[in-house]
Amino acid sequence: MAHHDSLNYWLVKQEPSTYCWDTFLKEGETEWTGVRNFQARKNLRAMQAGEQVLFYHSVIRPSVMGVALVVTSAYPDPTATEGDWSAVILKPVYTLRRPVTLAEIKADLDLQDMALIKQSRLSVMSVTKQEFSKILAKA
C-alpha cells in the first residue's frame, strides 16, 4: 500500500583529490562505493530514490559544493571484495552559487547539531530539512 514517507536529507563527504564535484558534474552520475564504516553504511541503506544530498569536500577547503539526488537506493557495493557493504547511485543536480564552508557552518548557531561538526569522521550522514535549507540559503 502506498503511503507518504517523509523525505530524508543527506550529506556525503568526499576528498576532492579522490573524487571532486567537477568530476561528478562531468560524469553526470556515479556509484557511491567504498563506504566501509557501519554507521555510514546504515545511512546509505536508508537513502531512498529521489532524496536530496549535499555533496561536501573534506580536507581541501572543506565546503558543501552542490546538491545531488539519490537515483538508486542501496545495493551491494561491487567494489567490496569481502564483507557486507552497500552502494547507491547519485547524480548531481546543481552547483551552489558559492561553496558553503565548514567555518560558516560551525559559526551558525542553527547548525551546531550537525554530525558534520559533532562526528567529523562520518562520511555519510543524515541532515534535517531545516539544516539542509539553511545551508542552501547561505550559498
Partner DNA sequence: GCCAACGTTGGC
The answer to whether 128 and 11 are in contact (CB under 8 A) is no
| Secondary structure (DSSP) of 65-100 | EEEEEEEEEEEE-TT-SSS--EEEEEEEEEEEEEEE
What amino acid occupies position 115?
A: A
Options 19-27, 70-78, 85-93, 100-108: segment touching DNA (CB under 7 A) = 100-108
The reply on whether position 106 binds DNA by CB under 7 A is yes
Beta strand segments in 9-138, E: 9-14, 30-32, 52-57, 63-76, 86-101, 124-127
Q: Which long-range contacts (CB under 8 A, 24 or more apart) does 77-80 make?
A: 77/33, 77/34, 77/35, 78/31, 78/33, 79/33, 79/34, 80/33, 80/36
Options 2-10, 20-28, 35-43, 46-54: segment touching DNA (CB under 7 A) = 35-43
The reply on whether position 42 binds DNA by CB under 7 A is no
DSSP for residue 48: -
Among 103, 110, 112, 113, binds DNA (CB under 7 A): 103
Q: How far is the CB of 86 from DNA (least distance, A)?
A: 14
For residues 62 to 81, the per-residue mask of contacts with DNA, x marking binding by CB under 7 A and - elsewhere, is x-------------------
Options 25-33, 43-51, 86-94, 117-125: segment touching DNA (CB under 7 A) = 117-125
The reply on whether position 23 binds DNA by CB under 7 A is no
Among 7, 49, 59, 107, binds DNA (CB under 7 A): 59
Among 88, 102, 111, 135, binds DNA (CB under 7 A): 102
